[in-house]
A = this chain, B = another copy of it.
Amino acid sequence: MTKAIVLLSGGLDSTTCLYWAKNQGHECYALSFDYGQKHRSELNQAKIIAKAAAVKEHKIMQLSMDLIGGSSLTDDTLIVPNAGEQMGVPNTYVPARNTIFLSIALGWAEVLNCHNIIIGVSAVDYSGYPDCRPEFITAFQNLANLATKAGIEGNQFYIHAPLAKLTKQQTIQMGLSFGVDYSQTISCYRANTHGEACGTCDSCNLRKQGFKAQNIADPTRYISNN
């Protein structure tokens, strides 16, 4: 049985990836980050999901990215916009976030003698973040194999992005085929401490559209006044 580390935020995409990895036959290790995100209640969901999926280990790393700021997800002086409110890359972009998360996953992978890292990025229904594109994933995999003792010894690392070319609807289809319970997941950038979603941010909007396109009931728990 090969090992895999899955970056698990507690959202729809990363949860689908976790079940994809299980379905591939991997022994799964989940990695989450308490990185100063305003919507850190997602970590409660990540714990529930990791337990339900019976991962081998779930690690939550502390990382004070709020000390750096520069994103409305981590910086109190910036406001999370509604879907479509900002042109181009919205201010929910967290500078270098996926690079940082993958780097730490790489370190853990090398210690575990694990050579598969799975990340739930997609370049179809997404917010235009540069570190969600396939060329980023390819460049990171290239780096990983130059950066590590295992890599230069020929024990290659593979960065898997199984959702890379999927729409949100297709991601949901895939997850349902693996038995994902999407009521456990939270994708909202403004999630409250009860794990309820705003329904209006970009992430909520993409998720909503996915369930709508699939023509199934949206199991998301929304904040009641929305």
A residues with a Cβ closer than 8 A to B are 59, 61-65, 67-70, 89, 93-100, 102-104, 106-108, 110-111, 130-131, 133, 135-136, 139-140, 142-144, 146-149, 151-152
Contacts and interface: CB of A to CB of B under 8 A. Distances in A.
A104 B65 CA distance: 8
Q: How many copies does the complex hold?
A: 2
Main secondary structure of the interface of A (DSSP, over half): helix
A106 B110 contact: no
A110 B96 contact: yes
A103 B102 CA distance: 9
A126 to B, nearest CB: 14
A182 to B, nearest CB: 29
Contact of A70 (B96, B110, B146, B152): B110
Contacts of A148: 95-96, 130-131
A151 to B, nearest CB: 7
A8 B163 CA distance: 38
The 3 A-B residue pairs whose C-beta atoms are closest, nearest first, are A70-B111, A96-B107, A95-B110
A61 B133 CA distance: 28
Contacts of A67: 59, 61
Nearest to A140: B143
